[in-house]
Amino acid sequence: MSPRTLLLRPQCVRIRSLHPIQPSFLLRNYTSSASLSSPGGNPTVKGPNQDVLPHVSEEAAEIAKITGETPPEIDQGTPISEVIKRDPQAFKKAPGVLKGATPGSKREYSTASLSPENDNVVDAVNINAQIPPAQDVQVDDVDISGGLPKGAKFPLPDLPLPPTANLHHRYSPVVEQVTNLLTRDGKKATAQSIMTMVLSLLRVKGTPKLNPRTPIIPTAPPLESLPQNPVAYLQTAIDSVAPLMRIRSTKGSGGFRESVPSPLALKQRRRKAVMWIIDAADKKKGRMNLAERLADEIVAVVEGRSSAWEKRQQVHKTAVASRANVRVKVM
């Protein structure tokens, strides 16, 4: 067996590197030189996130120096819109207020950050400064002897107020009742808005045409004056179509049900008429809103074209036919 050669021994083979090898996992020092030292040479107080990455404005300034572009102002910061424009995916998902200039402002939202040293800086305020005296304000006297005061739409109430005056009863009873019947789910403000629009639409309607088959209530004002007074327009339509009787079903002899007519009070008559008008207006859905349908239906009632007249005539016809079922007590 031949002896082993010295050149082939493993301990004799050595590899020497001319340049030292540095590990590739060493992290770069991203801390900017501006944040490590202050103008006096003393290190400034660092925030909790300044040891990891520099501020976006500082990073943009360093990149601008390398590329030869105009660096952003460190104090003002880089607008977020410019930062988002560099990333198409971020720009696509960004809110609309960040994609362009904010409406009504001269400056976009910025990424400027305050130094921890300036967080507690408060502007000096001289609390001992004298306040200039207020100028005398002259108030013009309101003269109501000649009629309405300047700028007023309605006359002022007569003083002293009568003992029966009530703030909650300052509107017409008909308007209040229709508003309450229009209220849904407790939203009375919405019903008041609809009622206001209905009265406004009645004001611009033309003079209604009288139908001899459906006579208007005798106490109604002239038809030519109804558009000038929308509340009277509304009350005329409701009182004209309101039924005088109601039909009650009671148990009669032999197990049969009898229809007994009974008179209605004024508020009950108006409620029945308003419900008929609302039901007729609900059948015209799809072309107008509720206020326009109600206004057209009120005009149709005055002109005798509404289906509420047929319901009124049917109730009165049944009441006349069932008048024998009314039991009158003889004293």
Q: For residue range 220-260, what is the model confidence (pLDDT) as tens digits?
A: 999 999 999 999 999 999 999 999 999 998 887 777 888 89
- 316 pLDDT above the threshold of 90: yes
Q: How many CB atoms lie within 10 A of CB 247?
A: 17
Contact 237, 328 (CB under 8 A): no
- Residue 78's pLDDT band, with cuts at 50, 70 and 90, is low
172 φ/ψ angles, rounded to the nearest 5 degrees:
-65, 140
- 31 pLDDT above the threshold of 50: no
- 98 pLDDT above the threshold of 90: no
Q: Which two tokens stand for residue 31?
A: 């801390």
Q: Which two tokens stand for residue 69?
A: 């572009």
Contact 8, 2 (CB under 8 A): no
- Residue 106's pLDDT band, with cuts at 50, 70 and 90, is very low
262 φ/ψ angles, rounded to the nearest 5 degrees:
-145, 145
Contact 49, 64 (CB under 8 A): no
**H, E, C per residue of the chain:** CCCCCHHHCHHHCCCCCCCCCCCCCCCCCCCCHHHHCCCCCCCCCCCCCCCCCCCHHHHHHHHHHHHCCCCCCCCCCCEHHHHHHCCHHHHHHCCHHHHCCCCCCCCCCECCCCCHHHCCCCCCCCCCCCCCCCCCCCCCCCCCCCCCCCCCCCCCCCCCCCCCCCHHHCCCHHHHHHHHHHCCCCCHHHHHHHHHHHHHHHHCCCCCCCCCCCCCCCCCCCHHHCCCCHHHHHHHHHHHHCCCEEEEEEECHHHCEEEEEEECCHHHHHHHHHHHHHHHHHCCCCCCCHHHHHHHHHHHHHHCCCCHHHHHHHHHHHHHHCHHHCCCCCC
Cis peptide before 160 (omega within 30 of 0): yes
- Residue 166's pLDDT band, with cuts at 50, 70 and 90, is confident
More confident residue, 124 or 180: 180
pLDDT at 326: 85
Q: Of the given ranges (110-119, 124-133, 161-170), which has the lowest mean pLDDT?
A: 110-119
Q: Of the given ranges (80-89, 111-120, 188-197), which has the lowest mean pLDDT?
A: 111-120
Which residues lie across from 259 on neighbouring strands? 249
Instruction: Give CA torsion, residues 235, 237, 238, 241, to 10 deg.
Output: 150
pLDDT at 16: 56
Q: How many CB atoms lie within 10 A of CB 3?
A: 5
Q: Rounded distance, CA 37 to CA 42, Å?
A: 6
Q: Whole-number mean pLDDT of the chain?
A: 75
- 295 pLDDT above the threshold of 70: yes
Q: Which two tokens stand for residue 255?
A: 């197990």
Q: Rounded distance, CA 181 to CA 176, Å?
A: 9
pLDDT at 188: 94
Contact 273, 242 (CB under 8 A): yes
Contact 312, 272 (CB under 8 A): no
Q: Which two tokens stand for residue 267?
A: 């508020």
Q: Read off the pLDDT of each residue in 66-86 and give the average, rounded to a whole number.
A: 73
pLDDT at 69: 80
